[in-house]
Structure 1
Amino acid sequence: MAARIDGPRLAAKSRTPRQLVVFLHGYGADGNDLIEIARQWQPWLPDAEFVAPHAPDRCSQSPTGRQWFPLTFRDPGERWRGVTAAHPGLDAFLDAELARLSLDDSRLALVGFSQGTMMALHVGLRRRGRVAAILGYSGLLVAPEPPDVDTGGGALQKPPILLVHGDADQVIPLDALFQSVNDLGETEVPCEWHLSLGVGHGIDEAGLRHGGLFLTRRFGLPFPKGR
């Protein structure tokens, strides 16, 4: 049975949730690491409820943090095995959250950072319905390893995607962004990207702005006035 997950939340400013934004944190962090972004975006997304679940497992390399899956950084296949193993638990969480709010996948956006981006892309592309958007910071699309491994079959969904990456990232190098964009293009999944100049493994104000505006656009909301 998949571990139950939960985390900090921010209710819709309008008190009538019409969208759900789920933040997926990086390796060694937890949901508290990203939920504050919701406060910056809330004026643009007044009908959105935000939640940032803690990953199910304690991080072996950061006992105070969490992990979606373990990493040794030595095994080339561990990322693929990791996203595949963590998929059911996150998928069940998303189902439960949407049911609680009486929403469907078209009202869901996934926002990931680093390992959370890997999860957002893997799960978001395989949902039963097409999600409204996937926004990934400092991460990558995990490809099967070895390349001919059985991926379970079935066509991928094709939600709008924005990937944001710092050109000074030494944790997940910039090449990962372009490889991910290329891999998504080969499966005809639309993908935009933004390069944050001088930024390492993190998110700058320009990246946050691009991400927030991307979500407003994909939820069919007007461009924020005075922004």
Structure 2
Amino acid sequence: MKNTSLDTVVIDTGASPRSCVIWLHGLGADGHDFEPIVPELALPPDAPVRFLFPHAPVRRVTINNHMPMRAWYDFLSLDPGRGEDHAQVAEAVSLIQAMVESARKEHDRVLLGGFSQGGAVALLAGLSEGPAVDGIFALSTYMPDADQAGVGLSRRARGMPVFMGHGSLDPVIPVDFGRHTSKLLGSLGAVVQWHEYPMPHSVCADEIRDLSGWFGTLLA
């Protein structure tokens, strides 16, 4: 993968935003996937935010019969933690950290997060050595094996605010994967908010409400 930048959907909630939220979509979706959620977020009215929704590269995905689709990395088997193409995980982390570095030049606060595969990349990119973020949100996801991806976790994981939400009925990434990641992050010293919702592999109104509150605390 030669490109060092990503096509991105940009939404500003007001003039001259000093805060930035980078939001990564899941496997097979694109940057428009979570664009409609922005108006549903109860953000501080006096704190404009720039939302960046990057499109993942198009690649063939093994578990989907090698069909080309937008994916942050290939899944060789649907076995989170072991079935990823770890070299591609590392590539995705590098791409997102470049976005964070660029956002840092223009904004006082930068939050990073995503859904499913996007959340997995966000966790590694936000917690590993590289440009710093002010918080991470991870929806219906897990953290890939940092060692296998060749990614070194940073000391700043200690004290990092992390929002995690997961469906208790999730058949794609079972909730136990999220619970395990939450405990792992806690052991690293991260300040984790863990939420479970009676839903499948998706988002729900209660999750958006809780995420809005978390955003408000960090962006106000």
Instruction: State if a TM-score over 0.5 links the two structures.
Output: yes
1:98-109 aligned at under 5 Å gives the runs 98-99=104-105, 102-104=106-108, 107-109=109-111
1:74-223 aligned at under 5 Å gives the runs 76=82, 78=84, 80-99=86-105, 102-104=106-108, 107-126=109-128, 128=130, 130-144=132-146, 151-152=151-152, 155-158=155-158, 159-197=160-198, 199-219=199-219, 221=220
RMSD in angstroms over aligned alpha carbons?
Answer: 2.4
Structure 1 residue corresponding to 2:73, chosen from 65, 69, 73 = 69
Gaps of at least 5 residues in structure 2 are none
Alignment length, in residue pairs?
212
TM-score, length-scaled by structure 2? 0.85
For 2:192, give the aligned amino acid. C
3-state SS in 2 of match to 1:69: coil
Q: Percent identity?
A: 27
For 1:103, give the aligned amino acid. H
Deviations 1:142-179 (A, max 9, x none): 12466xx8644753434200100000000000101110
For 2:171, give the aligned amino acid. Q
3-state SS in 2 of match to 1:32: coil
Q: Distance in 2 between matches of 1:150 and 1:8?
A: 29
Instruction: Answer whether contact 2:126 2:136 (CA < 8 A) is retained.
Output: yes
What's the counterpart of residue 18 of structure 1? 18
Gaps of at least 5 residues in structure 1 are 222-227
TM-score, length-scaled by structure 1? 0.83
Flag the 1:127–1:49 CA change in 2: closer, same or farther, 3 A.
farther
Aligned-pair CA distance for 1:16: 1.9
For 1:182, give the aligned amino acid. K
Instruction: Answer whether contact 1:87 1:119 (CA < 8 A) is retained.
Output: yes
Q: Distance in 1 between matches of 2:87 and 2:147?
A: 8
3-state SS in 2 of match to 1:10: strand
What's the counterpart of residue 9 of structure 2? 8
For 1:71, give the aligned amino acid. F
Aligned-pair CA distance for 1:111: 2.4
Instruction: Answer whether contact 2:59 2:74 (CA < 8 A) is retained.
Output: no
